[in-house]
Chains A and B, each alone.
Chain A
Amino acid sequence: MERRVHDRGGWPDAGPIDRAEHVYTMWERRTDAIRGVLGAKRLIRTDELRRAVESIELSPYEQLSYYERWIVAIEALLIEKGLLTREEIDRKMEAWVTCRS
């Protein structure tokens, strides 16, 4: 039976659990808040976010951090819903980098 990337119960070869506490960074809180605000406005439902996270390929799913998966999913959904385009996000990033240098 095909197993999806996110369907982790009993996933083989899982290792020890890293129990180190980590303080949430401002970026993580911000990403969390973007999701919260978009959710409160009913622009992105929790189930849609899960679906978008689950669509990430296996290797990136395992390599990306938790909130990196979220922002990838949020971006995909915003584009899917026609709220933003990939091009304007790319342009914004370039403009920001230019401004910073």
Chain B
Amino acid sequence: MDQHDHAHAHDTHAPIEDREELTYYEKRTWAIQALLVEKGIITADEIRRQIETVEAQTPADGAKMIARAWVDPEFKARLLRDAKAAVAELGVDSGEAPVLVAIENTPKVHHVVVCTLCSCYPRALLGLPPDWYKSLNYRSRVVVDPRGVLKEFGLELEPDVEVRVYDSSADMRYLVIPERPAGTEHMREAELANLVTRDSMIGVTKARAPQQQAEIKAAAPA
């Protein structure tokens, strides 16, 4: 068809956001989406809503769970027993993850999660995964040399700590409950949640110490 029908939903035309030349695959994606929409297989609206749903998923949801687990031992027990149900208690949608499992770090046991075969990740609790989690090097090395990888992330563990690597090879999505940092006894739940980073819920770092959090706040632009 040679003519452009500008009455078509704008999304089936060239992307608004490109200022420079798109790559071959970016163009291919546009072509595929346009065809799927033209054939009525999907709608541009469904795509837009899906983008919005995923954008709304951030590590703040996971952090909320962890902070509650730190202050409420019974909630923590429920989180460990049935994470999907516990997460729902706090109004978070655990999404399509068929099974969500929380695993707890202690002074003597440190967990770290990977998906060596692809990139399985608890997206509903943490948002989209960081590039490094999906990288070939992380997938290769964290199973064979977890302590070396943790060291790259700035975490060195004593030899008497048991490091447990979880490879998410099936439908389980693993969420690490990092240890509660020392010196946080006085902190309220919302403040505690600020200490819980995405990386600590994957297990490549610990949660922030209050001192580190104070430094970050002090350094932030006013």
Contact = CB atoms under 8 A, between A and B. Distances in A.
B26 interface: yes
Interface in B1-25: 1, 4, 13-15, 17, 22, 25
Given A9-B116, A18-B131, A96-B14, A33 B29 contact: no
A15 B34 contact: no
A1 interface: no
Interface in B27-84: 27-36, 39, 41-42, 46-48, 50-51, 53-55
Nearest to A97: B27
A60 B83 CA distance: 38
Nearest to A8: B139
Contacts of B41: 41, 43, 83
B50 A14 contact: no
B54 to A, nearest CB: 6
A57 to B, nearest CB: 15
A91 to B, nearest CB: 9
B138 A17 contact: yes
B128 to A, nearest CB: 6
A37 B131 contact: no
B118 interface: yes
A8 B33 contact: no
Given A16-B137, A17-B152, A66-B131, A72 B31 contact: no
A93 B137 contact: no
A75 B42 contact: no
Interface of B is mostly: helix
A6 B47 contact: no
B92 interface: no
A81 B79 CA distance: 40
B150 to A, nearest CB: 11
A10 B31 contact: no
A97 B18 CA distance: 13
B139 A88 contact: no
B42 A37 contact: yes
Interface in A36-54: 36-41, 43, 50, 53
27 contacts: A7-B117, A8-B139, A9-B143, A10-B143, A14-B141, A15-B137, A16-B137, A17-B135, A17-B137, A18-B137, A26-B17, A27-B26, A29-B54, A32-B50, A33-B47, A34-B36, A36-B50, A37-B47, A41-B41, A64-B25, A67-B25, A84-B36, A84-B39, A93-B28, A96-B34, A97-B27, A99-B13
